[in-house]
A and B are shown apart, each in its own frame.
Chain A
Amino acid sequence: MSMTSIVTTRRGKPIDAWRWIGRIFLVMMLFYTAVPMAWMLLTSIKSGFAAMQLPPQWLPNEPTLASYKKLLDPNNSVGQDFLRFFWNSLFVSTMTTALAVIVAVPAAYAFSRFDFPGRKFLFFAVLLRNMFPAVIFLVPLFILMRLLGLVNTHGSLILTYLTFGLPLAIWLLKGFYDNIPYQLEQAARIDGATRFQAFVLIVMPLSAPGIVATAIYSFIGAWNEYIFAYTFLNKNEQLTLPVGIQRFFSENTTDFPGLMAASFMMSLPVVVLFLLLQRYFVRALTEGAVKH
């Protein structure tokens, strides 16, 4: 007997207990994820002294936007640095995303549609890299970047992020292409389209959710990455945000409001991007790789 037929309202209407359990679980998860964000936001509008109070002031007695003003003021050194780090992160993430999509789209299509010698081995080899922790590649990649003359350039990060992001992007997109019937392309070819036209006009629009998901993955990965940026860049003017916001930690003290304001602003582009494109992202997860 199902639970829905046991639990009823006073009027005898059945209650979908699983649905309610699911809702409660979701509320709990929302609480779990939203509270740190709220705490970050609330701390960012406190003074340094208020942020250190215990028991904590949940809502600041004297809210202030001083930390945000400092960060966004290009006339002081903190603001100059923060805005520069922000721009650097945006540049590196955008370039990584664009290149990841440009490379992953045809690569995944090739793995999906063409049968060529070593196809399975190559596909496995692409994924193999992701089976090892990134940190073991740190020093070898650093030495490689130095030999290539790329240390202290954003190119070193873009190249590295692509190395790590591409396998996932190819795997994700391949799942999408596998689910697009080949007959659609054949029909286009019969109508006179070239293979490239069929790919661009038929396959790519149908795989848009996958491409968007791949782009979001790449962007978030590059935006948040710390250890390679920390190792490859040694010039203040080139640092990205995850490395740059370390400056709020000192030997004996931490500027908590500044750190939280910077963290909040750092999370904004990702949140905005996700909110704008979440429709595609969810579709990608449900229609693409998962189905595959």
Chain B
Amino acid sequence: MSTFNFGQAIRGGVSAAAITSLLMSSPVLGAPPVDLSKWSPEYVRSIAGTKDFDTAADCNKVTPLDYKGRLTFWYQGVFEGDPDLLRQYYKDFFAAFRKTYPNIDLQEQALTYNDLLDKFRTALLGNAGPMMVRLQILGGVEFASKGYLQELKPEDVGYATEDFWPGAMKSNMWKGKTYGIPTNNETMAFIWNADIFKRAGLDPDKPPATWDDVVKYSKQIHDKLGIAGYGLVARKNAGNTPYRFLPQLWGYGGSVFDETTQSPTYGRIEINSRASKQALQASYDMYVRDKSVPVSALTNQQADNQPLFLAGQLGMMISHPSDYDVMLDLKKKASGTDVQKAQTVIDNMRYGPIPTGPDGKRAVVFGGSNMHILKPEYVDGGKVDLPAAKALACFWASPEWSLKMAYAGSNPGNLNGFKTKWMKERLDNIKFLDVTTSMLPYGVPFPTIPETPEIMNIVVPDMLQNALTGAMTVDQATEDAAKKIKNIMSGGKL
């Protein structure tokens, strides 16, 4: 079992300034329902199960429960590979909504993670979007800036802006107006295989402290055992890539713009800074110099790392606590000698905080999803049923459901979710949850500009691929990325 002391790490590593700068820099200052300055695993445990909420009663104040209407809704679904637990909660959610609002004809459409943005963009071109959409956190501003979304703030659905992570609220802001409501927020953790560490001569219970250590450990694992050390991913147009490279970039002190500062302006491009180059150099060292990461990393996403990790062919990766749940499911469905093998993998899974850079900087992407309501002119049929949309937003963003829908791998968008009895139950049932909740204060939101999806999903992976394939040197790749970003920011295309 991991001996890493997360509470100590948090207390030692998180300054109030860091929390304030990254997550509390809310445009609307108010008292949040939880004390973010006290954030630690112990604090999260202390508030769990302290308050009851009645979702139906709360949402009845927004849209009467007997309201008759129709709503089309797209969201990133959970599918066959996701933990059974999470799939069950999604089923329960839609069943509960239909039971609570029996007269709302909800037509929901689940889409896969990598397809949602593209499909939504295409639908909007034909004015055939859904009335409501739940998008990954980096998507909302793009659509708000293009005028597709209606203004929508927590107060519109019965909550207060302070009920949500300020960083998450910022991801819904465009030109001072709010266009969405957070449903869940996540920060990932560092996962390693203790048995691989042991066999490679590393301390099985001690994760790499710095990104330089990751490079070193990855090489040691590869050299000693002939397997991949770190699960680098560099696939284009896959959200997994920025989620895994940006913590490294920020850790080294680099950034795309100035997104890690207290008041980012996004006016200065930093992806070609010395620190950013160091971060890319680390990936280059692992992929090209040491060959210590999967050779398929250039086209890999996290779904490709997971089987390698579970098969004991990968030493370390960045991911959610849900990987542990997925492993439990796989074990449940295995038979014969595979059961014991699966148990061995489970026993050797360890979670720890994301490594720091050379100067002790620790950062992770502040991820999650937001719900948005479209303007009628972009919707199939030309009408939006606003009360029905608000009812769904209220339901999903409630303390109860924002917690349950994030049960296995994420965190509730509504901070009151941390106070529910389900959070208490979750802390007992979901192993390693402490690690990812502990990482929340280190979360850095993606730049809240319309160009973010293109930069994160295309330019950043392109930069990685250019350097790792040898098409460009590290210097050239970062300069090329800076040039592309400058071009995009001035209204040009890639």
Give chain A's interface residues, CB within 8 Å of chain B. Answer: 47-54, 61-62, 64, 66, 77-78, 138-139, 142-143, 145-146, 151-152, 230-231, 234-236, 246-256, 258
Question: How many Å lie between the Cα of A247 and that of B112 in the bound state?
Answer: 7
A246-B115, A251-B112, A252-B302 known; 18 new pairs, CB 8 Å cut-off, are A49-B342, A54-B308, A62-B334, A139-B125, A142-B128, A143-B126, A151-B128, A152-B380, A234-B74, A234-B128, A236-B109, A246-B112, A248-B80, A250-B80, A252-B319, A253-B81, A254-B303, A256-B307
B45 in the interface, Cβ–Cβ < 8 Å?
A: no
Report B-chain residues with C-beta under 8 Å of the C-beta of A152: 380
> Is B81 a contact partner of A52 (Cβ separation < 8 A)?
no
Contact yes or no, A247 B79, CB < 8 A: yes
A152, B107: Cα distance in complex, Å: 13
| Complex contact A253–B82 (CB within 8 A) | yes
Q: Which residues of A contact B338 (CB under 8 A)?
A: 47, 49-50, 61-62
Query: A62 to B115, Cβ gap below 8 A?
Result: no
Assuming the A-B contacts A252-B319, A252-B323, are A47 and B127 also in contact, with contact meaning beta carbons closer than 8 angstroms in the complex?
A: no
Mark each residue of chain B from 79 to 97: 1 if its CB lies under 8 Å from any CB of chain A, else 0. Answer: 1111000000001000000
Pair A47/B307 contact, Cβ less than 8 Å? no
Count of A-B contacts judged by CB separation below 8 Å:
136
Q: Which residues of A contact B337 (CB under 8 A)?
A: 61-62
Closest to B78 in A: A250
Which residues of chain B have C-beta atoms less than 8 A from A53's C-beta? 311, 341
If the complex has contacts A49-B341, A54-B308, A256-B307, are A235 and B107 also in contact, measured as CB distance less than 8 A? yes
Selected from A61, A62, A251, the residue in CB contact (under 8 A) with B303 is A251
- Do B380 and A249 touch (CB < 8 A)? no
Q: Assuming the A-B contacts A49-B338, A53-B311, are A142 and B126 also in contact, with contact meaning beta carbons closer than 8 angstroms in the complex? A: yes
Q: Is B333 a contact partner of A66 (Cβ separation < 8 A)? A: yes
A255 to B78, CA, bound (A): 12
Q: How far is the CB of B327 from chain A (nearest CB, A)?
A: 8
**Which residues in chain B, 250-307, are within 8 Å of chain A measured between CB atoms?**
302-303, 306-307
Report if A236-B81 is in contact (Cβ < 8 Å); known contacts: A54-B308, A142-B126: no
Residues of A with C-beta under 8 A to B380: 146, 151-152, 234
The binding surface of chain B is classed by DSSP as mixed
Asked if A234 meets B302 with Cβ closer than 8 Å, knowing A142-B125, A255-B80, the reply is no
Q: Which residues of B contact A (CB under 8 A)?
A: 74, 76-82, 91, 107, 109-110, 112-115, 119, 122-123, 125-128, 130, 239-240, 302-303, 306-308, 310-313, 319-320, 322-323, 326, 329-331, 333-338, 341-342, 380, 409
Contact, CB under 8 Å: B112 / A62: no
B109's contact among A52, A54, A142, A235, by CB below 8 Å, is which?
A235
A250 and B125: CB pair below 8 A?
A: no
* Bound Cα distance A248, B338 (Å): 22
Given A248-B80, A252-B323, A64–B306 Cβ distance below 8 Å?
A: no
> Which of A61, A146, A247 is the one whose CB lies under 8 Å from B77?
A247
A248 CB contacts on chain B under 8 angstroms: 79-81
A-B contact pairs, 22 of them (CB 8 A): A47-B330, A47-B334, A49-B330, A49-B331, A51-B307, A54-B312, A139-B122, A139-B126, A235-B109, A248-B81, A249-B112, A250-B112, A251-B76, A251-B82, A252-B319, A252-B323, A252-B409, A254-B303, A254-B306, A254-B307, A255-B80, A258-B80
Query: Which residues of the other chain, A, contact B331 by a CB distance below 8 angstroms?
Result: 49
- A47 to B380 alpha-carbon distance, docked (Å): 41
Closest to B127 in A: A146
A13 to chain B, nearest CB (A): 50
- Cβ contacts under 8 Å, A145 to chain B: 126
Chain B nearest CB, measured from A261 CB (Å): 11
A64–B338 CA distance with the chains assembled, in angstroms = 13
B110 adjacent to A236 (CB under 8 Å) = yes
A52 contact from B112, B126, B330, B335, Cβ within 8 A = B330
A142 to B122, CA, bound (A): 8
